[in-house]
Structure 1
């Protein structure tokens, strides 16, 4: 077994663009669930809208900053459409509505009626919307090696995507840290614990929930933009499984914490890579084929999520007192 190669691949997952994108999506979900107690199971819908908003507007000729604004605006509109009729719901009812809304976004995205706009089930090719983002890179062409990590400077899976992705993650962490220690954040925590008590103090609970839904959705839309930088925009890649992986990451690292989503994303993807790499080297093809090892890795993820909820719902960095897992 080539441990040098395996550990190098595992270490690479710690700084991968996908890891950054999922960390950012989990930060947005942390605003929804960790701070406010909203059981949002439609985070993939915000990510997909952000990806489509950025890609479609870039293809239409918008500059990068305008395309990013379109991605953010798309998530805000979606949050308002979703939140206005549903934020009075609690617990399981809100979860059902949000997962249905995300599925509606995915189905619309793969509709043949919108082939010219979204590419339908085939999606949008990466080379059709990445050029303007790559043109912003100050890095020279070619490849750069930093220790065991060697990547292209400006291609799809590049240092430039990693730098921008993790910079956005750090800015989101700073924003959440400031909000958690602000009067606004304390009201959200109060809503999470007992919204009737907060309402009795004269606070507009509905408005605060809407603000949290919009903010978490905006962060998720930026996560969607980062997620599609190393790949194409494909609606089926942002379905229900993506939302459950984001939940696993949040619960693994710790809800209602600043760096829990980041730690959870790093551990999630590094561990998954380790399981797959070791499985391919150790398990013979007669016992389990390569594609079956891939599926086995996701089975381990599902079991991990169940064990987390049962035995340590607060996660690695979380405090059980901060976890609104039993929202009414």
Structure 2
């Protein structure tokens, strides 16, 4: 592996299916946190419901893929209602507690041995994306591009999923752009700033919060569906707590309450996260070592990407808490 391979590998990951999945999840979270000020710490729950609806219905019960996608979106709507009805009238803290607990509870239930026949236990469900693969028009050899002297490429199905996923992400960004410039979107942003003032004007704050939770949750379910279709697998480990935290990281890097914030955040985060991984892997390899063994071994290199990214995020939150493209006035949490 050359240093050019490090750069090309980082670019491939930044544009790849994983970055696309987190981008869509962050778009949903942007409605919750960025525009409405809802502290949803369980976006992974909505992703899980969408992914398992497709995996379970197609593989376990032999249903049509497109019907399963519809069921996944409806299931996320029901989950949003279950979480929102008892919590949205209370302080934001309660929604945060309820959502993170719900995400972990659902993950444990789906991975339990009791439901192994239905959901596959810890192995999950796999082999359910055949109908999606049949739609793939990309040649089996894959796709590659030569840009500025270096070549990037993806396998055929990965590239097809990327096209569908990034196209869906851009469509959702356009939808959010239009919604947030409508009277409905302006009410959401007003609730984020001062819900008592909005209530005094006769608006049903509870209803608007519920609509926001439902819409963002359904978009989160879309991310879970795309995750399952991209890997042809859904498993409890795919939706652990760090899934939501990575989604928040993507949103905060790009800038909350910015239409294109999740897109920029996903590209930047996955470029640097995977670029750092490849960099430290090469920097500690025997053929091209530039970091002495006394400082870092090859076994320790895999941990360095998270350490460096953590330090960068700390500095970002200190010196630019609104994110790279965000506006400090749009923050849902201020200094009060």
TM-score by length of 2: 0.91
- 1:229 corresponds in structure 2 to 229
Matched residues in 2 for 1:256 and 1:227: separation? Answer: 24
Aligned 1:21-60 pairs, distance under 5 A: 21-59=21-59, 60=61
2:153 to 125, 150, 155: 150
What SS class does the counterpart of residue 228 from structure 1 fall into? helix
RMSD between aligned alpha carbons? 1.8
Q: Which sections of structure 1, spanning at least 5 residues, go unmatched?
A: none
Does the 8 A contact of 1:90 with 1:327 survive in 2?
no
Does the 8 A contact of 1:47 with 1:220 survive in 2?
yes
- 2:13 corresponds in structure 1 to 13
Aligned 1:157-306 pairs, distance under 5 A: 158-231=158-231, 232-283=233-284, 287-306=295-314
Does the 8 A contact of 1:91 with 1:327 survive in 2?
no
Matched residues in 2 for 1:160 and 1:317: separation? Answer: 29
Aligned-residue offset at 1:230: 3.5
Aligned-residue offset at 1:290: 4.5
- 1:100 corresponds in structure 2 to 101
What SS class does the counterpart of residue 78 from structure 1 fall into? helix
Q: Which sections of structure 2, spanning at least 5 residues, go unmatched?
A: 285-291
Matched residues in 2 for 1:285 and 1:85: separation? Answer: 55
Q: Does residue 323 in structure 1 map to residue 324 in structure 2? A: no
TM-score by length of 1: 0.93
Residue 10 to residue 201, structure 1, CA distance change in 2 (3 Å): same
Aligned length: 323
Q: Which stretch shifts more, 308-317 or 141-150?
A: 141-150
What SS class does the counterpart of residue 181 from structure 1 fall into? coil
Q: Deviations over 1:140-189 (max 9, x none)?
A: 433232322322323xxx21111111111111111110111011000000
Q: Deviations over 1:108-156 (max 9, x none)?
A: 111111101111112112xx211111112233433232322322323xx
Matched residues in 1 for 2:237 and 2:30: separation? Answer: 24
Matched residues in 2 for 1:64 and 1:305: separation? Answer: 39
What SS class does the counterpart of residue 143 from structure 2 fall into? strand
- 1:123 corresponds in structure 2 to 124
For the pair shown, the structure with the greater C-alpha radius of gyration is 2
